Amino acid sequence: MGKITLLVSREEMLHQAHNILQEKKYKIRDMRVIDTSSAVTEARRSISEGASIIIARGLQASLIKQYTDIPVVEIVLTAQEMALLVTRAKQIVKKPKPMIAVVGFYNMFCDMSYFDELYGIVLQTYYVRQGSELEGAVEEAVKQGADLIIGGDLAVSKATKAGVPSLFLSMTEDSLRQAFAMAERMDYAVSVEKKTAAQLETLLDYSYNGVIRLDGAGSITAVNPLMEDMMGKTWQELKGVDIRDAAPQIKEEELKRVLEDGEEYSLFLEWGRGSVFAVMAPVLYEERVDGVIITCHKVKKRPVPSLQKGGLGKSLPPLVRFEDILQQSEAMQKCVHLARLYALSKQPVVLMGEPGTEKRMLAEAIHNSSSRGNAPFLDVPCAGLTGEAQRVMIFGERGAVLQVNSGSLLIQDAQELTPDNQYRLYQLIRFRVCHGTDIASLRRADVRVMTTLEKPPSVLMAEGRLRQDLGYLLSGLELTVPPLRERAEDLQKKLEDTVRACCERYLRYHVLTAGAKRMLLDYSWKGNLFQIESFCDRLILTAKKRSVDEIAVRRLLDELYPETTDEMAGKEEAEPFGGNLEAKRIADTLKKYGGNREKTAKALGISKATLWRHRKKYGIEWKGEEND
pLDDT band at 311; cut points 50, 70, 90? very low
Q: Which of 108-112, 272-276, 367-371 shows the lowest mean pLDDT across its residues?
A: 272-276
Q: What's the rounded Cα separation, in Å, for the pair 172 and 122?
A: 24
pLDDT digits (tens, 9 = 90+) for 125-176: 999 887 788 899 999 999 999 999 999 888 899 999 999 999 998 888 888 9
Query: Between 597-604 and 608-618, two packed helices, what is the crossing angle to 10 degrees?
Result: 90
Contact yes or no for 536/571 (Cβ under 8 A): no
What is the pLDDT, as a whole number, of residue 565?
52
Residues 6+ apart with CB under 8 A from 107: 61, 74, 76
DSSP state letter for 308? P
What is the pLDDT, as a whole number, of residue 313?
43
DSSP state letter for 483? P
DSSP state letter for 314? T
Name which of 111, 94, 235 is nearest 102 in CA terms.
Answer: 111
pLDDT digits (tens, 9 = 90+) for 532-574: 999 999 999 999 888 999 999 999 999 999 875 555 555 444 5
Neighbours of 389 (CB within 10 A): 13
pLDDT band at 304; cut points 50, 70, 90? low
What is the pLDDT, as a whole number, of residue 438?
65
Contact yes or no for 499/536 (Cβ under 8 A): yes
Residues 6+ apart with CB under 8 A from 2: 51, 52, 53, 187, 190, 191
Q: What's the rounded Cα separation, in Å, for the pair 618 and 604?
A: 16
Whether the model clears a pTM of 0.85, i.e. scores above it, the answer is: no
pLDDT digits (tens, 9 = 90+) for 411-469: 999 999 999 999 999 999 999 998 766 656 788 899 999 999 999 999 999 999 999 99
Q: What's the rounded Cα separation, in Å, for the pair 565 and 288?
A: 52
What is the pLDDT, as a whole number, of residue 97?
92
Contact yes or no for 276/269 (Cβ under 8 A): yes
What is the pLDDT, as a whole number, of residue 310?
43
pLDDT digits (tens, 9 = 90+) for 386-398: 999 999 999 988 8
* Position with higher pLDDT, 265 vs 483: 483
What is the pLDDT, as a whole number, of residue 170?
85
Side chain identity at residue 32, one-letter code: R
* pLDDT reading at 274 higher than 80: no
Q: Got the DSSP string for 556-567?
A: HHHHH-HHHHHH
Cα–Cα distances (Å) from 436 to 309, 389, 424, 439, 625, in that order, read 20, 12, 8, 8, 73
Q: What's the rounded Cα separation, in Å, for the pair 31 and 50?
A: 13
Burial of 366 (0-12, 13-18, 19+ CB in 10 A): buried
Portion of the chain with pLDDT greater than 70, in percent: 90
pLDDT band at 528; cut points 50, 70, 90? very high
What is the pLDDT, as a whole number, of residue 575?
57
* Position with higher pLDDT, 177 vs 626: 177
Strands 51-56 and 72-74: parallel
Strand, helix or coil for residue 221: strand
DSSP state letter for 302? P
Burial of 428 (0-12, 13-18, 19+ CB in 10 A): buried
Average the pLDDT over 62-85 and give the result: 90
Side chain identity at residue 464, one-letter code: G
Q: What's the rounded Cα separation, in Å, for the pair 505 and 406?
A: 39
Residues 6+ apart with CB under 8 A from 102: 82, 109, 112, 123, 124, 125, 126, 149, 150, 151
Q: What's the rounded Cα separation, in Å, for the pair 435 and 424?
A: 7
- Planar angle of CA 168, 173, 179, nearest 5 degrees: 95
Contact yes or no for 134/128 (Cβ under 8 A): yes
pLDDT digits (tens, 9 = 90+) for 185-231: 888 887 777 777 677 677 666 677 888 989 988 999 988 888 888 88
DSSP state letter for 294? E
Average the pLDDT over 494-512 and give the result: 91
Side chain identity at residue 315, one-letter code: S
What is the pLDDT, as a whole number, of residue 599?
85
Cα–Cα distances (Å) from 210 to 220, 296, 298, 311, 470, in that order, read 13, 5, 9, 41, 38
Structural domains in the chain?
Answer: 1-75+176-206 (3.40.50.2300), 79-170 (3.40.50.10660), 207-299 (3.30.450.20), 322-480 (3.40.50.300), 484-574 (1.10.8.60), 579-618 (1.10.10)
Q: Where are the alpha helices (DSSP H) in 144-246?
A: 153-161, 173-205, 225-231, 235-238, 243-246
Q: What is the CA radius of gyration of the chain?
A: 39
155 torsion bin: left (phi>0), alpha (psi -120 to 50), beta (else): alpha
What is the pLDDT, as a whole number, of residue 144?
94
pLDDT digits (tens, 9 = 90+) for 484-502: 999 999 999 999 999 999 9
Contact yes or no for 229/244 (Cβ under 8 A): no
Contact yes or no for 184/27 (Cβ under 8 A): yes
Strand, helix or coil for residue 166: strand
